[in-house]
Amino acid sequence: MNKKKSIYLDNAATTPVDSAVFKKMQPYFFEQYGNPSSVYSLGERANYAVENAREQVADFLNCSSNEIYFTGSASESDNWIIYGLLSNRKKKIHIITSIIEHKAILEPCRNLKEKGLAEITYLPINESGLIEINSLEKAIKKNTALVSIMYANSEIGTVQPIEEIGALIKKINSKRKEKIIFHTDAVQAVNYLNCDVQKLSIDSLSLSGHKIYGPKGIGALYLRNGISINPLIRGGGQERKMRSGTENTPGIIGLGEAIKKVEQSKSKNQSIKKLRNKLITGILKDIPNSQLNGSLEKRLPNNAHISFDGAEGESIVMELSQRNIFVSTGSACASNSLSPSSVLIALGLSREQSHCSIRFTLGRQTTSSDIDFVLKVLPGIISRLRKISGR
């Protein structure tokens, strides 16, 4: 019996490892398995490969390779910039972030606030899912040490004005003795947006391998030279004594190769956006009482986040799954939570509407026939679920 084709539309949660990336990684599991810290040739070859991957990440971000630190995930990178900065400051610091950040930023901020170690300002968003530059400027205080704003939201895909924020902070810093560090979680942005840290005036940036067709369990933190933070993980002193632990050599190689291929694949972004628009237009046309959440213009080209009044999100996911179509509700990193999406609540949706929302995120492998099939089966699914709920 032929296996039915899967239609994977949850690329914001994770992406399949690119075959060329996997091929590049393979030798470092077997033939080139040396510890990069070892002084003999097997270790030296592994170290050379790690440093080559560091150069690949640096080239992509337009920075120096000594400003790149490999981590176990973007969540670790996000935690590191917050806790590492705090542990290096003698006075209570002020952090500005947005209400719709990833939990890897929100949870450390909540933890520090509860312990009275930092003052936190959470910027609101407008009806399009964007922060207002003037609200950020008004929030800055004398003890503001960090501004952390996610480049592109992992749930609704809205793209924040990172270049404008960078320019604002750079201007403010020119008149300050104690500089504000500008950090962005660029996990969702790397595949689609300009991540030149010089152009954007970014001081620190987090990214992840498994969102860009690389392996899971590997991330990176860009930290501009001259910025001082303390290590989050202490031990053997790897990563120039900043992040201890034996390097995940295959993962690092995979991240380097994956980020190199991002530039080669950007020509496909327009076709992905075209398919995304086809999906949005088809859903809004054929399914009454459905709405797109967040700005259409200032949005990642692969993201369509839609609410279906009267149809419970988890039920939609399960119905689509039975047809080998894979999507998600809310934020993928917390999709097992029954709590309403904080992002959608911040956007102005009710708790009920947030539970009736689906995130479709396309990828390099998505085809026009995939979208046709989704548009064929989805109206019937929504209609049936609404009848069950009495809507």
Q: Which residues are catalytic?
A: 333
Using alpha carbons, select from 161, 191, 278, 261 the residue that is nearest to residue 12.
Answer: 191
Sign of CA dihedral 301, 307, 312, 316: negative
**382 membership: H or E segment, kind and range:** helix 368-389
> What's 165-217 look like in SS3?
HHHHHHHHHCCCCCCCEEEEECCCCCCCCCCCHHHHCCCEEEEECCCCCCCCC
Rg of the chain in Å (alpha carbons): 22
Whether the Cβ atoms of residue 89 and residue 154 lie closer than 8 Å to each other: no
* Rounded distance between C-alpha atoms, residue 218 and residue 53, angstroms: 12
Cβ contacts of 63 within 8 Å, gap of 6 or more: 197, 198, 222, 224
- The 8-class DSSP code of residue 218 comes to -
Enter the tokens of residue 286.
Answer: 């054929």
How far apart, in Å, are the Cα atoms of 151 and each of 154, 286, 298?
A: 9, 32, 11
